[in-house]
A = this chain, B = another copy of it.
Amino acid sequence: MNIIIIGLGLIGGSIAKDLSEIKGINILGFDKNHQSIENALANKTINGFIDNLDELTIEKYNDSLVIIATPPRASLEILRALSSLFNSNITITDTSSTKSALEEILLEFKYPNNIVLSHPVAGSHLSGQENSLKGLFKNKEVILSYGQSVLSKHIEKVRNLWKSMNARISNLEGNVHDYVFAHSSHLPHVVSYALLMTLKNLDQTDISKFSGGGLDEFLRLASSSSEMWADIFTLNKENIISAIDALEENLDIIKSKINKDTQEIEALLLDLKNFKEENY
């Protein structure tokens, strides 16, 4: 079987490292950065490469699994560029943290039967192939999104891909996926950036010395790839903006309770502590 990994960054590079340990797979890379291809060839994590996505229409690629592992906005362009492969025998998946915009393309093409979207909930605040890791997906959640028209052979191929890397698999419809991740992942990243802006605007320059536990962990998220997060924020903007609105309402509630008395704020904090311990 041929597996074509489009984008050999942190995620694509880590997939290649895992798959290169499995026999009987021919792993091909595609990356506009030729240095990434050369590194992956040198590391023997890919067996070869393609120069042009049009090559995938050649007969010998008929059994392929294509993984789009580029930043989210590039994934839109690439999915569209692969439209000649829609409803073929080739299985197509991706690794993007947002799904709604990809699903708009699927809608436009009347839900091709060979596309299964994947979101491996794994990564790092570091990016790029040089930070890719063997075992990155082990025991990590991978969320699959696909419509009713998708053929089960394609679903199985994508499930088996992630299972071979010891990931755990869940299903969420694309719009539910984007709503859930707006709150569980995208909102915490927004907050990390907003906190950094707040600290950056202060006169006091030595805040970091006095940060104690907590702040460092919050700010770590802001070291992530700016390109990827700009893509995620704009591609999931409706959900994220409504999540920020809800957060701001809750900040206002906390402000008003802080202004009143200790008992009222203490009751709220205790209620939230209990909720946290039961659910997270």
Contact = CB atoms under 8 A, between A and B. Distances in A.
A204 B188 contact: no
A213 B201 CA distance: 27
A205 B279 CA distance: 9
A195 B191 CA distance: 9
B181 A269 contact: no
A124 B226 CA distance: 32
Contact of A222 (B210, B221, B252, B273): B273
A193 to B, nearest CB: 5
A265 interface: yes
Interface string A167-210: 00010100010011101110111111111111111101111111
A61 interface: no
B193 A254 contact: yes
B185 A230 contact: no
Interface stretch (A44-52, A107-115, A234-242): A234-242
A234 B261 contact: yes
A33 interface: no
A179 B204 contact: yes
B185 A212 contact: yes
Nearest to A181: B210
Nearest to A224: B273
Contact of A188 (B179, B195, B248): B195
A94 to B, nearest CB: 17
A59 interface: no
A226 to B, nearest CB: 4
A24 interface: no
Contact of A218 (B143, B212, B217, B279): B217
A98 to B, nearest CB: 12
Nearest to A274: B226
A155 to B, nearest CB: 20
A1 interface: no
B210 A188 contact: no
A276 interface: yes
Given A141-B210, A183-B202, A222-B272, 11 more contacts: A121-B210, A185-B214, A187-B198, A190-B251, A191-B251, A196-B275, A197-B250, A197-B254, A214-B220, A216-B280, A217-B217
